[in-house]
Amino acid sequence: MKNKRWIVYLVFTALLMASPAMLNRYWTDVLNVVGLYVMLALSLNIILGHCGMFHMGHAAFYAVGAYTTAILNTTCNLPVLWLMPVSGLLAGLFALVIARPIIHLRGDYLLIVTIGFVEIVRIALINNVFGITGGANGIFGIDRPTVFGMKIRTPAQFFYLIWFFVAVTIFLFHKLEHSRFGRALNYIREDDVAAAGSGIDTAHYKLIAFVIGAVWAGFCGTLFAAKMTIIAPESFNFWESVLLFMIVLLGGRGSIPGVILGTFLVIGLPELFRQFATARMLVFGAVMIGMMIFRPEGILPPQPRAYRLDGSAEPEEAA
């Protein structure tokens, strides 16, 4: 059972890594977009999937990251990739400030407030609040990233850059899941009264989950700005947040493979059916309703974590 799953992962990874050689520029670029969304959705998965907070404003953190990179690159000429940690940090700080007063809100209340946030951020960007966001036109002329002296230009080059960061994200988040921290988020999602009663500082963990999710969305913002070289407020609208929310619910809350599959379905699949683009919403709606009824846990719900039950035993894996 376990080996079979690993074979699937390996084949998938090999196919993906070879795909720029087999695909034209257009389809490689589709995979780049999917990669960005995988990383974004994995970061939302920490907040929504693991901690169970209905956060529908993730595009706000993404926007903070992208604008931080764009502004610092175009005004101070700092290299794009060096701005990644700065963008992550700023998005994280932003989350720290806005999340603190709202994390105690439950389910649908939090949903509404976070929708409000993402709209406020977008409108602030359009109105050029600090005179540095370029208003509705956004910011253009962002530099291409450079890796070891090589300028990243082609979709194939971007493919390896983006999926490298996706791989790092998967690696780190997998570890994060399998830890005291990851468990604490799950306890809070399952029952926050029982979690507090078991000694978990629920407010603290909710806040940290928000910050980690935001930091990663900030990283994604840098990659996005570098890939597009031009960013505008419309890239960070409410709909982006809805798509990410949908990916996590559809794929499987708290499941990395689920979120990756969900991204391919929600972001990649519509590209195959461009001619039906107008029916996209209809299909999404129908699929989501079907999921909620027949498979509320998502397509690939998480497996229980494995533990070595005694020194000699194989790591156990429940089905």
Which residues contribute to the site for another protein (CB under 8 A)?
Answer: 172-173, 175-176, 178-184, 186-187, 190-191, 193-202, 208, 212, 304-305, 307-310, 316, 318
**What separation in angstroms does the CA of 54 have from each of 58, 88, 106, 268?**
10, 21, 8, 24
Residue 299 to residues 47, 213, 232, 316, Cα–Cα distance (Å): 19, 22, 33, 23
Q: How far is the CB of 108 from another protein (least distance, A)?
A: 21
Tokens at residue 169, please?
């994200």
3-state secondary structure of 151: strand
CB of 208 to another protein, least distance (A): 6
Only one residue has tokens 């790092």, namely 168
In the complex, the smallest distance separating the C-beta of residue 180 from another protein, rounded to whole angstroms, is: 5
Nearest residue (CB) to another protein, 180 versus 274? 180
CB of 154 to another protein, least distance (A): 32
Nearest distance, CB of residue 171 and another protein, angstroms: 9
Q: Toward another protein, which CB reaches closer, 108 or 310?
A: 310
Please, how many CA atoms are within 13 Å of residue 28, restricted to the half-sphere of its CB? Answer: 20
Smallest separation, CB 217 to another protein (Å): 16
Of the pair 273, 307, the CB lying nearest another protein is at 307
Q: Tokens representing 270? A: 């519509």
> Closest CB to another protein among 69 and 186?
186
DSSP string, 70-104: HHHHHHH---TTTHHHHHHHHHHHHHHHHHTTTTT
Q: Which is nearer to another protein, 75 or 198 (CB)?
A: 198
**What does the block give as tokens for 162?**
């983006």
Q: Which is nearer to another protein, 134 or 213 (CB)?
A: 213
Please say whether the dihedral angle defined by the alpha carbons of residues 115, 68, 91 and 80, taken in this order, is positive or negative.
Answer: positive
